[in-house]
Amino acid sequence: MAEEVILLNFWPSMFGMRTMIALEEKGVNYEYREEDVINNKSPLLLEMNPIHKKIPVLIHNGKPVCESIIQIQYIDEVWSDKNPFLPTDSYQRAQALFWADFIEKKLFVCGRKTWATKGEELEAATKEYIEILKTLQCELGDKPYFGGDKFGFVDIVLIGYYSWFPAYQKFGNFSIEPECSKLMAWGKRCMQRASVAKALPDSERVVGYVLQLKKFYGIK
């Protein structure tokens, strides 16, 4: 029986972008289903992720896998014959998982503050965001990718935010490039990969989406 792989996603989600990239990197045939997560979540989404009711949801032969980082690990293990994401060395693997966890806990919450707050809170958020990126840039160092010469787990976890950088900078009134030029060069390098270019939306479309969010939440 042929494998059935379905991805429930919402196009601006940097979390869903991760899962798309992982599937593309492994050459997995999958069906993409766009969800209206704001106004009309599908019955399938609610059935497959009854706890959080969020995207992305990876459905493999009728069984759901939720949470993007877990999905990347799952994809890496199930389709292990091609292009491994995580190192085989236990320490290097632990380091990759550490940085993925750092990204997960820091970037989204702080990034949201760059367009959803104002005044001193916004100023603090933009400073914090740059510091987070500088920490990641330090870990990247002079390597092409976070794992070295090979595009891997941490790159997949982080790269979706690259499509949101212009929106964060526009609404937060700050610039990433001056202090994080190596990280921005890394983003451009990743964008040259077919998997990344397919998964990441145009940044101007993201800016338009954030404008909609600001109106939706009454943020001026």
Q: How does residue 1 score in pLDDT terms, banded at 50, 70 and 90? A: very low
For 105, other C-beta atoms within 10 Å of its C-beta total 11
Q: Which domain holds residue 25?
A: 5-78
The mean pLDDT value for 4-16 works out to 98
pLDDT of residue 2: 65
Per-residue pLDDT tens digits for 18-53: 999 999 999 999 999 999 998 899 999 999 999 999
Single pTM value for the model:
0.97
In this structure, are residues 3 and 60 in contact, taking their beta carbons and an 8 Å threshold?
yes
CATH of the domain at 101: 1.20.1050.10
What is the Cα 68 distance to its own chain's centre?
8
The mean pLDDT value for 106-115 works out to 97
Tell whether 46 is covered by a domain. yes
CATH of the domain at 65: 3.40.30.10
Per-residue pLDDT tens digits for 49-106: 999 999 999 999 999 999 999 999 999 999 999 999 999 999 999 999 999 999 999 9
8 CB burial (10 A radius; 0-12, 13-18, 19+): buried
193, pLDDT greater than 60:
yes
The domain total for the chain is 2
Q: Are residues 65 and 153 in the same domain?
A: no
pLDDT of residue 180: 98
Q: Are residues 178 and 148 in the same domain?
A: yes
